[in-house]
Structure 1
Amino acid sequence: MSTVVSQTPVEDVIRSKIVEALKPSTLEIYNDSHLHSHHEAMRGGTSRETHFRLVITSAAFKSKMQPARHRMVYSLLKEEMERPGGIHALQLRTRTLEEEGRQKEREKQEQGEMIADVEQL
């Protein structure tokens, strides 16, 4: 019997806690740790999971301002942020289903405008 050890244990915990608590319709997790490995605070560290960027769409954010949404996520990940070698930086993009829909509509409209501009050339 072999034991499989995750190569991304911090990311796995992030995903598990957010999915369980916020039931997101969208969850994107980006490990940006490699972009910060040269920073003084990261030198000598052994963790390759210190800097994350999250995009979360959840109905749980409805009627809450961004600071309250971020506090929700921080409280979920408090243990991972306080642990030595744990999460050093966390960039959040939190939105409701309606906000995600508006964003996608804007992107679709912008893409259509770009295509129209190219066709005019």
Structure 2
Amino acid sequence: MPATGSLADLIATRLTAALAPTQLDVINDSHHHSGHLGDDGTGESHWTVAIESEAFVGLSRVNRQRLVNNALADLLAGRIHALAIRARAPGE
């Protein structure tokens, strides 16, 4: 899928399609890493995703993170240097 709009929009679109979140926050943390390793100068290299989804019910933290990583695999391979994930099921 070609990138359109900001990377935050693309991350949100991918996660919405894959995990149907009930809550989703995509936070650009890149300004905290300006000039550091992994800063590619785009201002879109370091991210935090806070996501709540029914898809996480009964899954371990590691398996929840795998679902998020799978949804963003090609972006993690190139455009995203670092991704912090806070994944929870509804009611947690």
Could you state the TM-score of these two structures normalised by the residue count of structure 2?
A: 0.90
Aligned amino acid, residue 60 of structure 1: A
Q: Superposed, which structure 2 residues align to 1:1-121 within 5 Å?
A: 6=5, 8=6, 10-42=7-39, 45-83=40-78, 86-99=79-92
Aligned amino acid, residue 20 of structure 1: A
State the 1:64 CA deviation. 0.2
Unaligned runs of 5+ in 1: 100-121
Aligned amino acid, residue 70 of structure 1: Q
Whichever structure has more strand as a proportion of its residues is 2
Structure 1 segments of 4 or more deviating over 6 A? Answer: none
State the 1:13 CA deviation. 1.2
Could you state the TM-score of these two structures normalised by the residue count of structure 1?
A: 0.69
Higher relative contact order (Cα pairs below 8 Å, separated by 6+ residues) = 2
Aligned length: 89
Distance 1:41 1:24, change over 3 A: closer
| Structure label with greater radius of gyration | 1
Partner secondary structure for residue 60 of structure 1: helix
